[in-house]
Structure 1
Amino acid sequence: MRGVICLLTAILGLFPVLASAGDLTAQLTQFFTTRYGESGQRADTLTVVVKTPQSQWPACDNPQFSLPGNSRMWGNMSVAASCDQNRRYLQVQLQVTGEYVVAARAVRRGTPLTEADIKLEHGRLDTLPARTVMTAAEVTDAIALRDIMPGQPLSLMMVRQPWRVKAGQNVTVTARGEGFNITSDGRAMNNATAAQRVRVRMNNGQIVSGEVAPDGNILISL
């Protein structure tokens, strides 16, 4: 009888541990779900796996979570859990499923990507290479920097955006300030995509630097 009582005591002792684990996982899941909603990122499913031993978990029921210096959206990461003045760091793995972009067919290096070259796949995002492309709009018209195989996930490191300005091209430069715009002409000194910086030699010989607008004009804010 004494052995049965000891066994029951041991089993009942597990319930607070399991409940605590469930509570912490649920709280972290809500934290990451909210973070995804605020970032505009999409995730079909989101699973949090806590890797830190329970003896190192926060001591309060409702810790405040944050991601100091961490911009990752999935995979292994460190989460700060604060209880008043006490802060502990939890090592978690965030498993996420959703859509990502792969090559629909072979793409040769130097080829502009079209809609026919890409398609969406569904799977675990946290197992993909860094900077994997999530939407077709990110790479449509982009130039392949290397040969890409059919079915290969596309990353932003595989492509570059098309040049909006090329070295030697005549460009229009607009300087904007408080209540005024000044427009003049010059010649680009380097290649640049939209939103990149480009140096321009103005017609009077002066060299200025500005940002390339989507239409190819150069913008300078004063």
Structure 2
Amino acid sequence: MRRVTPLLAGLFGLLSLHTDAADLTTQLTQFFKARDATHAENLTVVLRTPAAQWPQCDTPQFFVAANSRQWGMISVAANCGQERRYLQVQVQVTGDYVVTSRQVARGSALKASDLSIKHGRLDVLPARVIVDPQQIVEAISIRDITPGQPLTLSMVRQPWRVKAGQNVIVIAQGNGFNATSEGRAMNNATATQPVRVRMGNGQIVSGKVDADGNILISL
């Protein structure tokens, strides 16, 4: 009977390690593709954590923090029953992103003609980069933006649907109850944001702005 030499044993160990690494990377890739189906075809996961810190089961359950960025270096919790390990992975994604086609001054409303599309690595761009131009058409720049600069959600805000001092329609709704009145907005707000309204009798109420600029109150 042949004995397995230390060299062969080491080679078998390396082969097993590479197989396990491929399997774990495949599972992580499937997890992140399900998380970002839009870019699934152009998504690659690179496992950066040493093998000694990998989960000790065949099919770990993966979790990421709710505020985790979508691409780039991400910490992933891998659960095997009651045991939890943390993996550092690099999620590489290629796709389209939005840049400005001209100099945009702070306070300007963005138009479709101000925007262009570029293609490249999304994971190396700033967090919350904008990939859909429709998401920010009519949005207001809150800083000066240079031509060709990738746009992020932190550079813009949605336009005010209601401004302080503006007369607004207040719609109060409840169980079998619906009433409409008028008041004056006390603060600026975009759609879905809260706003305080002073009614004609002096009472102050709070509600949320709808897409038409009306104030909705639930009773």
Q: What TM-score results when the alignment is normalised by the length of structure 2?
A: 0.91
Say if 1:170 and 1:186, in contact at 8 Å, map to a contact too. yes
Of residues 133, 137, 149, the one that matches 2:134 is 137
Post-superposition offset of 1:6 = 5.5
- For residues 149 and 69 of structure 1, the distance between their equivalents in structure 2, rounded to whole angstroms, comes to 31
Deviations 1:144-203 (A, max 9, x none): 122211110011121121111111111100011111111100011111111111111101
Instruction: Give, in angstroms, the shift of residue 58 of structure 1.
Output: 1.1
Q: Alignment partner of 1:186: what SS?
A: strand
Q: How far apart are the structure 1 equivalents of 2:41 and 2:193?
A: 33
Give, as a single letter, the amino acid of the residue that structure 1 aligns with 2:191: A
Match of 2:169 in 1: 172
Question: In 1, Cα distance between the equivalents of 2:65 and 2:162?
Answer: 38
- Residues 5-56 of structure 1, C-alpha deviations (whole Å, 9 max, x = no match): 665554343211111110110010011111223xxx5454111111111011
By how many angstroms is 1:101 displaced? 0.8
8 Å CA contact retained: 2:68, 2:74: no
1:205 to 2:175 alignment? no
Identity of aligned residues (%): 62
Q: Deviations over 1:89-139 (max 9, x none)?
A: 111111112111110121122221111000111111111112211211111
Instruction: State how far apart, in whole Å, the 1-side matches of 2:66 and 2:211 are.
Output: 31
Matched residue, 1:15: 15
- 1:23-102 aligned at under 5 Å gives the runs 23-37=23-37, 41-102=38-99
Corresponding residue number in structure 1 for 2:104: 107
CA distance in 1 between partners of 2:189 and 2:65 (Å): 33
Residues matched between the structures, number: 215
The 3 A distance-change label for structure 1 pair 69 and 163 is: closer
| Distance in 2 (alpha carbons) for counterparts of 1:187 and 1:70 | 36
Structure 1 residue ranges without an equivalent (≥5): none
CA distance in 2, matches of 1:151, 1:25: 35
CA contact 2:193–2:208 (8 Å) conserved in 1 = yes
Number of the residue aligned with 2:148: 151
Which residues of structure 2 form unaligned runs of 5+? none
- Quote the offset at 1:72 in angstroms: 2.2
Letter in structure 2 aligned against 1:170: N
Q: 3-state SS of the aligned residue for 2:49?
A: coil
Separation of aligned partners in 1, 2:87 and 2:169 = 53
Q: The residue matched to 1:14 in structure 2 has which SS?
A: helix
2-side partners of 1:216 and 1:183: how far apart?
14
Give, as a single letter, the amino acid of the residue that structure 1 aligns with 2:83.
N
